[in-house]
Structure 1
């Protein structure tokens, strides 16, 4: 394991920076956590935009380098500070599965989960669209079914290989959002068990504390 004393993560509770914190905890990498001033205006926000041009979360500072986008940060840390069992290598049988589910957690799940979040929880009630919420709920159900049937088929405990990987860290965050807005109860039992298994790890508990 490589020391990483210059790693600083800009973090806020309940955000995608949880993914990065969980990875850092699993890898045992030294790091500091800084509050991201994404809600600020003026000089503080402009200073933060050196690390994330949109002023969003997360962003990682590694010495003089900055990187944003949570799944990209996962890959960056694994590539720079690995090797780690949290990454499936190209020569391994489940490499394709690993990449697929790593990106499914953002590319496949973000739009329906975000719209459901917005139109059932975040937006003022007079701005919520019931039709959009209904469509998003149906699309979320599809993603959860695919996760249960294609991701966790035949009793798989993890999405890629026989161990926790960054793919699980990517996906479990989206399930966490559904849990927060009370839209997770209808998930397949395999997905519920999977969520409980991953979120029972010390790394998750520390990342979400």
Structure 2
């Protein structure tokens, strides 16, 4: 059985969603990033999430998502294939351009100490986010998922970022991607994970 370390909100929700999509057995140790001392046992930075698999601990939400997908042979293409390379290019783009903009905005809004924030950067981040959305819209085209007919890790990652963007006030000007996000939220794995999140 796996142990998901982190309150199933924010980035830990990504891992929870994968666990539910794959139908895996797990338990939750609901620590937050405010529980620095307790989290340091699993991650020296004190950040959530972490995943315990036996005696081993994996940190970073995207690394955990891909590990679970690889281990259980779902939500991913096989490593070493051209399809996997294309899948990974989506993952990297989302981490760099979408998640990166949102996380930088968060750091400059409430995460960093007040004297370490640059409020003026947020409009620039929103502009960069919009540019990235247009690029994703072009790459998605008429496909159901980023990789065509197959739902993969970057789909879950992107959909989570869309929810984050809404709560952070980032504009989503793409009807195509709004519809894509709604499709992702209709998945049974998301519905189960969201029900657990709502109770936390």
Distance 1:24 1:95, change over 3 A: same
Deviations 1:23-75 (A, max 9, x none): 110110101111014213xxxx3343121111111000111000101111012
- Partner of residue 131 from structure 2, selected from 123, 139, 142: 142
SS of match in other structure, 1:109: helix
TM-score (norm 1): 0.82
Asked whether the equivalents of residues 97 and 129 of structure 2 are also in contact (C-alpha less than 8 Å), the reply is: no
**Structure 1: distance between partners of 2:161 and 2:32:** 23
* Higher helix residue share: 2
Q: TM-score, normalised by structure 2?
A: 0.85
CA RMSD of aligned residues (A): 2.3
Tell me what 1:206 maps to.
192
Task: Supply the distance in 1 between the matched residues of 2:18 and 2:163 (Cα, whole angstroms).
Answer: 16
Write the mapping of 1:50-61 to structure 2, written as runs, cut at 5 A.
50-61=41-52
Once the two structures are superposed, the pairs formed by residues 20-169 of structure 1 within 5 Å of their partners are 20-40=15-35, 45-80=36-71, 82-84=72-74, 86-90=75-79, 94-119=83-108, 122=110, 129-150=118-139, 152-153=140-141, 155-169=142-156
8 Å CA contact 1:12–1:36 kept in 2: the answer is yes
Conserved in 2, the CA contact under 8 Å of 1:198 and 1:204? Answer: yes
CA offset at residue 162 of structure 1?
0.8
After superposition, the Cα gap between the structure-2 partners of 1:173 and 1:198, relative to the gap in structure 1 and judged at 3 Å, is: same
Q: For residues 89-147 of structure 1, what are the alpha-carbon distances to aligned partners after superposition, in whole Å with 9 as ceiling and x for unaligned? A: 2476532221111222222323312233455x6479x8764531111111011111111
Corresponding residue of 1:175: 162
- Deviation, 1:14, is 3.0
> How far apart, CA to CA, are the structure 2 residues paired with 1:91 and 1:51?
30
Deviates more, 1:169-178 or 1:24-33: 169-178
Which consecutive unaligned segments of at least 5 residues does structure 1 have? none
Q: Secondary structure at the match of 2:29?
A: strand
Q: In the alignment, does 2:37 pair up with 1:15? A: no
Q: CA deviation at 1:199?
A: 1.4
Listed as ranges, the gaps of 5+ residues in structure 2 are none
